[in-house]
Amino acid sequence: MTWYQALDYVKTLNIGGYTDWRLSDALELQSLVDYSQANPALPPGNPFTNVQSYYYWSSTPYPVYTGGAWVVGMSIGGVYVYDEVLRLLRVASARR
């Protein structure tokens, strides 16, 4: 789904009795990453289920590119900017 669709989708969720879901911002999403792990790049014993090695949208826009937003790739934890118009990923930051 597009970034705009993801932003709208989380507003419709009703999971665990909660309806106030939102996308994490880029720093929150990156803080979940364990760079010693891969596929997904999450620490052992994390509470998340069914995490795939895909790119996950953050709520953080990247205004330099129209329709661009920060994403985190859960295969190795890379942080990128995805431009919906050009359909390109750009490396945005190095591993910490």
- CA distance linking residue 85 with residue 21, whole number of Å: 26
Higher pLDDT, 65 or 3: 3
Mean pLDDT, the chain, whole residue set: 86
Q: With a threshold of 0.85, does the pTM exceed it?
A: no
- Yes or no: say if 80 and 60 are a contact pair by the CB < 8 Å rule: no
- The whole-number pLDDT of residue 92 equals 53
42-85 pLDDT, tens digit per residue, is: 999 999 989 998 899 999 998 777 678 999 999 999 888 887 76
- The whole-number pLDDT of residue 1 equals 85
